[in-house]
């Protein structure tokens, strides 16, 4: 059944009006519906890590850091208590392509998305040092979510991606390679389209490697999906890349919004007391304005 875009938009508006919490500590843990391997058994393209998956030693900041991902998965967090098809967002945690900040930029974000009526799908992609594998993983994740949209009560035309730091780069890469599969077709899942319906990039990294130039693996075009970006001026290492990406979106006439503010640094997720702390509200407002469908 095709979802009514007006119903979806009104749902988000009502969540905003209700004052849904946006800080991680104010949100309860999301309830996972299912965790699904991305690849059929023994058919994952490329390679995994040389060691078993593990959690890095705690640093006292309540961040779960995973590495040595050999079996990439998606975990689905459906919106509780609704029978209407919902939008969905594939969430890509950051970590410099070395680790995944799995709760701060993954499950915490799924809880927030659930609070505004959106299904969260957390992607556990291959790390460390495996950008090609990670790209194969996000392409397969997009196809899996589309293939299972009806069963998971997801609106087929409202499936986006959201990435933090390196995860933001990964989402930008998917957004700019919307018709180029990075691996051979394995099954019927790989007949689904790759292009996200929208993208949300939060303090994305690696969008520029040479001053004043967009990274070569990010060929922005008119087919790049509508995009919302967040960055702060005091993230000196990466803010220039977001500015250039925004300029490229503007030049290609891609619908986009760039929330740029003074303070917040890098790697805050939902855990900031700086100027950038309002980014979740700005993102919600953009989802309404963009009429994502």
Q: Is 292 helix (H, G, I), strand (E, B) or coil?
A: coil
Span 81-123, pLDDT tens digits: 888 999 999 999 999 999 999 999 999 999 999 999 999 999 9
Q: What is the pLDDT of residue 86?
A: 95
Q: Confidence class of residue 28 from pLDDT cuts 50, 70 and 90?
A: low
The answer, yes or no, to whether residue 2 has pLDDT greater than 50, is: no
The pLDDT score that the predictor gives to residue 12 is: 45
Name the residue among 200, 199, 217 with its Cα closest to residue 208: 217
Q: How far apart are CA 81 and CA 84, in angstroms?
A: 9
Closest CA to 90 of 47, 42, 152, 133: 152
* Residue-level length of the chain: 293
The reported pTM is: 0.91
**Could you read off the pLDDT of 135-184 as tens digits, one per residue?**
999 999 999 999 999 999 999 999 999 999 999 999 999 999 999 999 99
Residue 1: Cβ-neighbour burial (10 angstroms; 0-12, 13-18, 19+): exposed
| Distance in angstroms (rounded) separating the CA atoms of residues 279 and 293 | 22
* Average pLDDT value for residue range 241-262: 98
CATH number at residue 47: 3.40.50.1820
Give the number of domains in the chain: 1
* 8 Å CB contact between 202 and 279: yes
- Taking only the tens place, the pLDDT of each residue in 259-288 is 999 999 999 999 999 999 999 999 999 999
Cβ partners under 8 Å of residue 105, min gap 6: 91, 93, 94, 95, 164, 165, 167, 202, 267, 269
Residue 22 has a pLDDT of 62
Which residues form the domain of 43?
A: 5-290
CA-to-CA separations, 122 to 74, 142, 146, 189, 214, in angstroms, rounded: 5, 11, 15, 18, 27
The answer to whether the CB of 86 falls within 8 A of the CB of 8 is yes
What is the per-residue pLDDT for 272? 97
**CA-to-CA distance for 68 and 84, rounded, in angstroms?**
37
What does DSSP assign to residue 24?
A: G
Could you give the CA distance from residue 114 to residue 120 in angstroms, rounded to a whole number?
7
Token pair belonging to 249: 């979106």
């Amino acid at each position: 059944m095709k979802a009514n875009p007006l119903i979806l938009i009104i749902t988000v508006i009502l969540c905003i009006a209700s004052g849904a919490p946006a800080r991680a500590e104010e949100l309860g843990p999301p309830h996972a519906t299912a965790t699904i391997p991305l690849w059929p058994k023994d058919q994952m393209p490329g390679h995994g890590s040389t060691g078993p998956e593990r959690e890095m030693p705690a640093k006292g900041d309540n961040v779960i850091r995973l590495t040595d991902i050999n079996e990439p998965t998606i975990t689905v967090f459906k919106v509780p208590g609704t029978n209407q098809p919902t939008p969905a967002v594939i969430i890509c945690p950051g970590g410099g392509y070395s680790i995944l900040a799995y709760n701060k930029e993954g499950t915490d974000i799924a809880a927030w998305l659930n609070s505004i009526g959106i299904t969260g799908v957390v992607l556990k992609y291959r790390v460390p040092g495996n950008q090609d594998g990670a790209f194969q993983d996000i392409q397969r994740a997009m196809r899996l979510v589309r293939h299972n949209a009806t069963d998971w009560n997801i609106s087929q035309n409202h499936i986006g991606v959201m990435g933090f730091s390196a995860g933001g780069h990964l989402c930008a890469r998917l957004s700019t390679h919307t018709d180029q599969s990075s691996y051979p077709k394995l099954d019927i899942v790989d007949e689904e389209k790759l292009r996200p319906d929208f993208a949300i990039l939060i303090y994305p990294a690696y969008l520029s490697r040479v001053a004043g130039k967009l990274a070569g693996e990010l060929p922005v075009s008119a087919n790049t999906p509508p995009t919302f970006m967040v960055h702060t001026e005091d993230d000196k290492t990466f803010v220039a890349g977001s500015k250039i990406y925004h300029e490229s979106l503007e030049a290609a006439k891609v619908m986009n919004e760039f929330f740029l503010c003074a303070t917040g640094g890098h790697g805050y997720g939902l855990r900031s007391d700086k100027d950038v702390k309002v980014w979740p509200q700005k993102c919600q407002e953009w989802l309404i304005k963009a009429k994502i469908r």
